[in-house]
């Protein structure tokens, strides 16, 4: 294998992820204007429930399928796919049925918001579809084929947005109320479309298992890795669900009404974090391709390539993160007001800008640790960060309001990045200096921000997005002049061992 396949896969996923994020970003703006901040808050409340269900049914199996497929050849790869699909669909149907029948109880008792009950019924129908989609994507990534995951995600996003837009106009013509139910219906139509796309692809491929007994044997193999991953992710998503419910409850304790608390929650999670996670399309694509590559190199005993991958991942994540931090610090308020007509969105964005370098690193480092088989390490690292966030919500939010949530996010991401870097440090033989990781990118962003500040008298002529583009261009040119980007070339051109 040459690293060009890794590079091509990363580029395909990056382009599709950027397009998906771009579409999703404007979709969030559309939803915010259609449903309002409170409606966004109600809509966002159901996602922790979905995360728990997805973790129970398929998230661990996706990782296991990707890892074992990367280490296998021929029909053995298909065996892992079919074994994973059997396990995922069986558990998904059980969990989906439970969610459908107990939606009222979950909405009232756990989410403390009865308006979530009908949304949970739609969500129940998406769980088996999402599990099928996830297993197939894990299988393709294990085979270094990024095209299917990329196009299936694009199909899902396009159909989701198109169906919601169509229903929105039908509702307006009929004089019907626009509620979060509309957006939840879009989730279901998007998952149906992605599954149909995958089935169309699979019909033209030879993906038959070698035998039924081989599939059952692969089930046991997959479970040896997926159970620890599933257990850790379920534990984490349960705590994340607790965190999501605690935020509006703690905001009420600070003196806000239920409507005000849900509105703030909707602005933070549905608007500000959408901005913050938009650049994550680049680093998340790298993350998706890292797991099978690291797993394959570990199987070959090629520790030098693993060390290089870790160093280049850190370098790439820090350079992207520092650029985004500068953009959100300088233009956060303007972006929030322009896109969502909510000044609070921009204020939250400026506060959270400091976590960008760490936020974009954590996903990649987690994939590296999973590729090395260190699933328990990632669990305890993420658990520690999550407990810090919950501690800040419980301790500070009733007295400081939404600022306590922001402080918790900052503290949690800092801790997670520190723990992840410490966990992978033993696999690294340092070849890149601290100046390339931090000092030179920091100098580049400060000089770029200074240059934009000097252009302030012409800001009204240039416009917001031209200023951002000029700042990015200045940052990249400065990194080239400092020699930082030259260090990334081995990520794309070094041959892997044979």
Can you say whether residue 401 is alpha, beta or left, with left for phi > 0 and alpha for psi between -120 and 50 degrees? left
**C-alpha 66 chain-centroid distance:** 17
**C-alpha 56 chain-centroid distance:** 18
pLDDT at 192: 94
Is 178:168 a contact under the CB 8 Å cutoff? yes
**Distances in Å between the alpha carbon of 201 and those of 25, 83, 151, 187, 359?**
28, 19, 11, 21, 34
Q: Which residues of 65-86 are buried (b: 16+ CB within 10 A; e: fewer)?
A: bbbbbbebeeeebbbbbbbbbb
Q: What are the average pLDDT values for consecutive 10-residue runs of the chain, which has 498 residues?
A: 54 71 80 83 87 86 83 75 88 93 90 88 92 87 77 89 92 86 91 90 64 76 81 82 87 85 83 79 64 69 78 83 92 85 86 88 79 80 92 91 90 91 81 80 91 78 84 90 67 44
How far apart are alpha carbons 45 and 60 in whole angstroms? 23
Residue 407 tokens, joined: 């402080």
How far apart are alpha carbons 315 and 126 in whole angstroms? 37
- Alpha helix positions (H), 280-355: 280-300, 303-340, 343-352
Q: Which residues of 243-278 are buried (b: 16+ CB within 10 A; e: fewer)?
A: bbbbbbebbbebebeeebbbbbbbbbbbbbbbbbeb
The domain segmentation of the chain, as residue ranges, is 3-431
How far apart are alpha carbons 18 and 33 in whole angstroms? 23
How far apart are alpha carbons 105 and 117 in whole angstroms? 8
Owner of token pair 């007509």: 341
- The candidate with the shortest Cα–Cα distance to 419, out of 357, 362, 373, 356, is 362
Is 309:372 a contact under the CB 8 Å cutoff? no
Owner of token pair 């690293």: 3
Query: Phi/psi at 87 (nearest 5 deg)?
Result: -65, -40
């Amino acid at each position: 294998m040459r690293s060009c396949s890794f590079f091509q896969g990363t580029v395909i996923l990056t382009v599709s992820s950027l397009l998906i994020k771009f579409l999703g970003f404007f979709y969030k703006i559309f939803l915010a204007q259609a449903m309002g901040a409170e409606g966004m808050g109600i809509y966002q409340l159901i996602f922790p429930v979905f995360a728990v269900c997805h973790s129970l049914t398929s998230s661990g199996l996706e990782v296991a399928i990707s890892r074992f497929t990367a280490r296998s050849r021929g029909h053995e790869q298909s065996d892992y796919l079919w074994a994973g699909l059997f396990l995922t669909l069986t558990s998904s149907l059980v969990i989906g049925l439970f969610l459908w029948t107990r939606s009222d109880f979950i909405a009232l008792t756990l989410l403390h918001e009865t308006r979530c009950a009908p949304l949970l019924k739609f969500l129940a129908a998406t769980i088996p579809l999402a599990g099928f989609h996830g297993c197939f994507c894990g299988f393709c990534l294990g085979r270094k084929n990024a095209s299917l995951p990329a196009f299936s995600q694009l199909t899902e996003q396009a159909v989701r947005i198109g169906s919601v837009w169509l229903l929105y106009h039908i509702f307006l013509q009929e004089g019907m109320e626009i509620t979060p139910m509309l957006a939840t219906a879009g989730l279901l139509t998007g998952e149906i479309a992605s599954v149909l796309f995958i089935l169309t692809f699979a019909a033209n491929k030879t993906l038959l298992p070698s035998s039924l007994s081989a599939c059952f044997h692969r089930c046991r193999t997959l479970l040896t890795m997926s159970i620890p991953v599933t257990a850790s992710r379920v534990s984490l998503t349960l705590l994340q669900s607790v965190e999501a419910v605690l935020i509006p409850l703690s905001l009420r304790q600070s003196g806000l009404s239920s409507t005000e608390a849900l509105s703030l929650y909707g602005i933070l999670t549905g608007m500000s974090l959408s901005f913050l996670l938009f650049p994550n399309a680049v680093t998340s694509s790298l993350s998706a391709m890292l797991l099978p590559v690291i797993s394959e190199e570990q199987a070959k005993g090629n520790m030098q390539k693993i060390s290089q991958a870790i160093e280049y991942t850190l370098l790439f994540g820090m350079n992207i993160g520092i650029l985004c931090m500068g953009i959100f610090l300088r233009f956060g308020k303007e972006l929030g007001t322009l896109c969502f007509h909510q000044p609070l969105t921009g204020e939250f964005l400026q506060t959270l800008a400091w976590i960008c370098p760490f936020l974009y690193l954590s996903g990649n480092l987690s994939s590296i640790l999973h590729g090395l088989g260190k699933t328990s390490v990632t669990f305890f690292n993420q658990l520690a960060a999550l407990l810090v966030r919950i501690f800040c919500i419980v301790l500070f939010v009733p007295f400081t309001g939404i600022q306590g949530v922001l402080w918790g996010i900052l503290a949690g991401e800092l801790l997670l990045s520190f723990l992840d870097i410490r966990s992978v440090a033993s696999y690294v033989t340092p070849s890149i200096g601290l100046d390339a990781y931090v000092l030179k990118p920091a100098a580049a962003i400060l000089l770029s921000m200074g240059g934009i500040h000097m252009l302030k008298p012409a800001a009204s002529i240039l416009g917001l997005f031209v200023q951002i583009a000029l700042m990015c261009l200045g940052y990249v040119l400065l990194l080239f002049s400092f020699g930082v980007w030259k260090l990334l070339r081995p990520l794309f051109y070094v041959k892997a061992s044979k």
